[in-house]
Amino acid sequence: MKTGDRVIVIQSASELEKWLEEASRTSRLAILFFSKARPCRYISPLYASLAVKYPKVVFLKVHIEEGPNAESMALDRGIRKFPTFLFYKSGKEVDKVVGVDAIELKRKIPLHSRKQARRDQVIHISTASELETQLNAASKTSRLAILYFSDHGSRLYSLLYTSLTAKYPKVVFLQVDIVEGSAQAGALAADWDVRKFPYFIFFKRGKVVDKYVAASSDGLRSKIAQHLRRRGA
């Protein structure tokens, strides 16, 4: 797998299955873009920009020229014209856009992601002052706050993290994205001595009570449940 500009480049059927399953499990819209160099040279930059605009949507891409695995994935889905964009929800194909149709592509993404966007409760932090404001607010209401530092390799955890907001509505979920953020985001990571990703810091009443360098999704869930039990939530 390669990542860049939030577009995940798929190189095998097993890798594609993993990402579609993860998107389904976390109730994310997923878009699968089958691309060839010449016919897709104008739409590819737009797709990359849309991935930045809609960070909670899973943007996938298959380059047909990269070999027989890519061609096989296209044939399995009946793809014969490029570009083709397939939309997935809950593991099922729900829509498609065929051809270089930027207007239709831009129209369908918000159409399918609108309900999802209303559920997103992760607060994105880019400066120390923003972080201080959110931690003070959580402290005043005696809520557990979690600060998540993410990078390119943390994409699966970002999907999981967003899904946990629905399960734990009384927890304040904060995120600093080192890839998308400014130099200030990098400075925040340095201030908190974050050297590995994904990295989670737990706060109660404005104080650090725990840290977790994620090794498994179950471990993160267990940490959250553990701290909620301690506060009697």
Q: What is the pTM of this model?
A: 0.53
Q: Which domains does the chain have, with CATH numbers?
A: 2-116 (3.40.30.10), 123-230 (3.40.30.10)
Per residue in 139-180, pLDDT (tens digit) is 988 999 999 999 888 877 888 888 888 889 889 999 998 875
The per-residue pLDDT for 122 is 84
For residue 167, how many other CB atoms are within 10 A of its CB? 10
Q: Under 8 Å CB-to-CB from 60, ≥6 apart: which residues?
A: 7, 8, 10, 16, 19, 20, 30, 31, 32, 33
Only one residue has tokens 């739409």, namely 43
- Strand, coil or helix: 221: helix
The per-residue pLDDT for 179 is 74
